[in-house]
Structure 1
């Protein structure tokens, strides 16, 4: 047998090889070809769309029993419609398509039509049918899911819409798994993944927070957080009020076993949201605060539950996003204003010698408020009671030791800083803010390793050592109406997505959070009204802060004691 030359086999004529590659090149798609494809696709799409609309409407109204062949035909029609939408998007958003061609999908609301007429209506028909054709529903969901993921990759111009649709579709898939809790949780996680990606791009949209709240079930505290955030987002979602009301309904679905602190907290907000009697609210609030003082160390070690509590409390101060709520209107009054502009304006108020509220009873007075302010009328009981609850809760957290309280205190200091920038709102609340415990907390932080140049700089504190700039609670705070002046522009631009954030925080993150708290303390001290900050790196209470201290202790008729270990106060 002849010996094979090992050198001859891999030898390829380079010129011939390059010629072969050149022959593989295809002619580019022309604009005329794309226009022709769109013109050819759209009439058939519109015709099939109308057929699907008519049949879905007829079936939804009649709820008639269909045979297997009829279900197959109906599914085939919607499958064809989805393919036609897909072809339209690929042609109109081809990489070489002109701007005019790319605008067609938006002009004719094609993403909305695809979801509404191509997917949602048919899913509703399937869901509402008594003899639920589960196999057809599963097959169609899988088809729609695959189609949307392809569009997410190939038509990125509508990325946010595809993310939202994928989250909704996964939620539909979750709803099918009534008996298999494991599969249900898997699809809930998938839906949450898509919704969080959308929230990363559009944090101001309250409706997506509402959807995340639905997925948080049966965690009542997390649900309350998301629903209240939905109500006080820059773009609030008022329908979340219905879900909050169901959350407070004692006849609603049984929740998971939860700590008595959380049960008491939910009950307190239920009384506040429903505007029960002041006496009932005080009893429930005292129960919650007493349990919190006694057992706060039993909450989760990440500090997230405490952030949920403070955020929900601040939502109550904003009247749970109530239409024409005076606090929310005050925060929204100057949208577009920079932090520097707001700070300059607020400094004029604190440096003036005008009449200012001096006691708890003055909180309800409007004599010191400008007639042009949304707050130029008496405050509602929700604001005052929500404020009492917020700052008594903060006082309990400030009295604790350990890193787990830092996220909730940071959230609270961020709220106070933003409140300082809205002086007509701050006038109403300054008498009941626990200034002395806040100062004690800040001075304790100053004793730890601190880069004073960062906390004393007017600029937002960044760390250049590879530390993730965003803290876990930043993602919870952002998008809320009150937080708009807190973060620098583009602060979240390259932030990691939910799935890419570390589960366990690095020590550098804890240091970053401490610096953020101190920086906020220094910013608040620039007003020299409640707190001052001296050259020895020490926070000092003003005479006004001392004057308010007795009011802070007694406001709202709340007690300041913990319940015994074997006792729970009952409403």
Structure 2
């Protein structure tokens, strides 16, 4: 783990645009580790799967086997340290796919306090707020990122909407934690060939920036400022870590 983290910043620097793709795969790999790769003994998977099944009982920290608790702690440590390295690269738009998949996961957790309780305490909220603020300056329409409605872009002839998912959208498709994120029919555009689905085009940069900020606003709204705060007057994000740490204690 330490070897990976020690070389991560230089790896991102050298990879330049190649990290657009590498980033979301690394992000998804870390999320899969946190969720336990679908292992039902994993507390995160247990919470998310049972929530989807409308069951009532959720695994608490005291119910975890020591080995499972250690696996979760290790996965969270790797994920959060990776977040911290990536989020310090302010101005590097090649990290946005990583941030996108990460915030899509966090957004899903806002619907499940039992799951968020495992992730929120050590998540680098301050670095996230700083990164989001750095992305805000070039946004032309704040109403789009502040809206509850998913920010769609592409339209076909006559105004008919033809969705054009981002490459990482296809990578996230079907995963347990995106069912509340993508709008209905988001993957319905059959005009996109399989070879084109993961092809990066220039217009995706601004769309991705907008999506990341949209997710930041939704996380702030769903948590009533508990994790992230968003001021719609100044268009700035903030967080208060001490209150957060007092709020989330796993028992």
TM alignment of 1:165-180, pairs within 5 A: none
Q: Is the 8 A contact 1:530 1:545 kept in 2?
A: no
In structure 2, what is the Cα distance between the partners aligned to 1:322 and 1:532? 33
In structure 2, what is the Cα distance between the partners aligned to 1:410 and 1:514? 9
The answer for the alignment partner of 1:397 in structure 2 is 86
Residue 166 of structure 2 corresponds to residue 476 of structure 1: no
The answer for the alignment partner of 1:567 in structure 2 is none
2:237 to 539, 555, 560: 539
Q: Is the 8 A contact 2:150 2:183 kept in 1?
A: yes
The answer for the alignment partner of 2:159 in structure 1 is none
The answer for the alignment partner of 1:525 in structure 2 is 220
Shift of 1:452: 0.7
Q: Greater CA radius of gyration, 1 or 2? A: 1
The 1:456–1:336 alpha-carbon spacing in structure 2 relative to 1, beyond 3 Å, is farther
Shift of 1:543: 5.0
The answer for the alignment partner of 2:73 in structure 1 is 384
Instruction: Pick which of 299-308 and 510-519 moved more.
Output: 299-308
1:375 to 60, 69, 92: 60
The 1:391–1:530 alpha-carbon spacing in structure 2 relative to 1, beyond 3 Å, is same
In structure 1, what is the Cα distance between the partners aligned to 2:129 and 2:177? 23
Shift of 1:514: 0.5
In structure 1, what is the Cα distance between the partners aligned to 2:150 and 2:17? 27
1:129-178, CA deviations, whole angstroms, 9 ceiling, x for partnerless residues? xxxxxxxxxxxxxxxxxxxxxxxxxxxxxxxxxxxxxxxxxxxxxxxxxx
1:65-92, CA deviations, whole angstroms, 9 ceiling, x for partnerless residues? xxxxxxxxxxxxxxxxxxxxxxxxxxxx
The answer for the alignment partner of 2:24 in structure 1 is 307
Q: Is the 8 A contact 2:43 2:59 kept in 1?
A: yes
The 1:387–1:450 alpha-carbon spacing in structure 2 relative to 1, beyond 3 Å, is farther
The 1:415–1:545 alpha-carbon spacing in structure 2 relative to 1, beyond 3 Å, is farther
2:109 to 403, 419, 429: 419
Shift of 1:441: 0.6
The 1:336–1:511 alpha-carbon spacing in structure 2 relative to 1, beyond 3 Å, is farther
Unaligned runs of 5+ in 1: 1-284, 338-370, 549-571
In structure 1, what is the Cα distance between the partners aligned to 2:138 and 2:148? 21
In structure 1, what is the Cα distance between the partners aligned to 2:41 and 2:179? 19
TM alignment of 1:557-568, pairs within 5 A: none
Q: Is the 8 A contact 2:217 2:230 kept in 1?
A: yes
Instruction: Pick which of 421-430 and 486-495 moved more.
Output: 486-495
TM alignment of 1:449-528, pairs within 5 A: 449-464=139-154, 469-494=164-189, 496-501=192-197, 503-506=199-202, 508-526=203-221, 527=223, 528=225
Shift of 1:546: 7.5
Pairs aligned (count): 230
The 1:543–1:404 alpha-carbon spacing in structure 2 relative to 1, beyond 3 Å, is closer
Shift of 1:436: 0.3
The answer for the alignment partner of 1:434 in structure 2 is 124
In structure 1, what is the Cα distance between the partners aligned to 2:163 and 2:198? 10
The 1:464–1:500 alpha-carbon spacing in structure 2 relative to 1, beyond 3 Å, is closer
Q: Is the 8 A contact 1:313 1:389 kept in 2?
A: yes
Unaligned runs of 5+ in 2: 157-161, 247-251
1:301-352, CA deviations, whole angstroms, 9 ceiling, x for partnerless residues? 1411111111111111111222332211211123278xxxxxxxxxxxxxxx
Look up the SS of the partner of 1:539 in the other structure: strand
In structure 1, what is the Cα distance between the partners aligned to 2:136 and 2:178? 25
TM alignment of 1:313-324, pairs within 5 A: 313-324=30-41
TM-score with structure 1 setting the length: 0.38
